Structure 1
Amino acid sequence: MTDDDGFPDDEGPGDAEFGADLLEEELRQAAAVLDPLPAELLQVAMDAYALHDLDARIAELTFDSLVDAIPVRGVEDPPRMLTFQAGELTVDVEVTDDGLLGQVLPPQSAHIEVLGGPAAAHPLTVDGMGRFTAATPPTGPFALRLRAGGDVIVTEWLRA
């Protein structure tokens, strides 16, 4: 015999929890068939988790020309200037239609990767003066991962 909610009268508290778990699993399976997770989104999520590095320091965005700069008359499409700070380390980046141009200060040997959503990270070469360039501009959200002297520093994610 059942009561008004459709469950048997002799159902105990554990049975209701089992029924809720079963319903949740059925809904999960239906969602996987009717509204599957896009492969690109899954890859972005996996890449974001891979960035989860407890030893990495987050470089704080201290200057963004879109927000902080004073407009200059006559300049129609100025490059976007970004400055990130992590302790004593500063990373200056210029984002243009031609790519990225930047410098690590104080100048030092470093490895930089441009992270950009589902695309693979693009490694950049840093010269003796701390300068680096990327020939292609980021096309969507991007971040920089810097490895210098045993430290791992990751910038905030920004839109190009």
Structure 2
Amino acid sequence: MWRFMVILLVCVALAPFVPGLIESRLKSLGGHETSSVEAEEDAGERIHRISSDPQGHFIAETRLNGRFVDLLVDTGATLTALPRSLAEDIGIFLDESDFKYPIRTANGTTFGAKSSIDRLSIGDIRFTNVNILVLKDQSLGNPLLGMSVLNRLRKFDMSDGTLVLIQ
């Protein structure tokens, strides 16, 4: 009986290390490298996969007008939303008078400015002239990838902690 208990305890102790050992073994055998974000092209479709982070959120590694930016995928956001400082970093400059559209956020009501991004890419998936909303920095915690981008995909699906984007 003690022998089985010892074996069980050893198995429980080693279980968290098994995925890493398998991954390193596959790499050494020349297998496909696993990553949290993968992109591929299949039958003319552009497919991009995003794994959820430890909190269950999907963070898209994007390029906005050529600059790398992580965007939180938010299906509840009608438009892709950026804080003003980030918009300026990618070449979108707005006047104070442009902030005239009332917006309800988790932090309350604020005013936003409508604009567009010339080029947005997520892996091999590419968009041009994407409608966005720019908010003052204190009104937006994270830049958001909203439905103004997701609706332009052929399909997107989430299952088993992976968001799959298909263009």
For the superposition of Structure 1 and Structure 2, which TM-score range results when normalised by the shorter chain? 0.3 to 0.5
TM-score by length of 1: 0.34
Structure number with greater Rg is 1
Q: More strand per residue: 1 or 2?
A: 2
Relative CO higher for 1 or 2, CA cutoff 8 Å, sep ≥ 6? 2
User: What TM-score results when the alignment is normalised by the length of structure 2?
Assistant: 0.33
